[in-house]
Each structure stands twice: as structure tokens, then as C-alpha cells.
Amino acid sequence: MMMLPLSSHRHFSADVRLSLKTGGKSFELAGAGPDEVFPRDGFELAPCDAELVMHVDSQTFTWPVRIDHAVVPFDQVVKVRRIGEIRRSNPNESAGNENGLCNAQAR
């Protein structure tokens, strides 16, 4: 009988979701870098303060950011500037500021 070795490493995939929240709206992101985000779908946004939100499994991480230049629906890259410290939320807490930081329109 052939025995297969038991691996001491388990393979897991994290459930990761990124979004940009502002003006009471949430825009899905395809990715993010240190000073930029990549919208999944186009949106229009005036310069404003926003929150970059990353959900990793049951944890939520939020960065306050500033968008210095207007965003138009065909922008594939949006420059952001971090303006505060990262916050880590408990699974049962709301991650975003729903009070609205600026006017945003999905396109």
C-alpha cells in the first residue's frame, strides 16, 4: 500500500474585496497600490476625502485618503494620497463612513 505524505502546509485562499467609499457611495476596485487605486467600473468623482476599504475574510481595514484631482468614468488609475492612519475593524462593525464626504456619481 502506497502512503501519501501529509503536508504540514494547508492551502487557503483569502476572500479579498477592495472599495473606495465616499459621499455615501461605495465603488468596487480591481486593485490598489501605495498611491493609486484601479476602479473595477467607471465613476465620476470631484476632488474629496474618501476611504479605501479592504475586506480580508472577516477583517476590515480602512485608510482615509484624499483624491486631489477629479475622476472621470474612463480613468483606469486614480491617484490617492493617504491622510490618516489605517484602522482595523471588528467583523461586526461598519467599515465605512456613511455620512458622505463628497458628491459621487456611478457611471
pLDDT digits (tens, 9 = 90+) for 7-17: 555 667 888 99
CB 47 within 8 A of CB 32: no
pLDDT digits (tens, 9 = 90+) for 61-92: 999 999 999 999 999 999 999 999 999 987 66
Q: How high is the pLDDT of residue 53?
A: 97
pLDDT digits (tens, 9 = 90+) for 93-107: 554 444 445 555 555
Q: How high is the pLDDT of residue 9?
A: 57
**How far, in Å, CA of 96 to CA of 42, rounded?**
20
pTM score of the predicted model: 0.72
Domain boundary assignment for the chain: 16-93
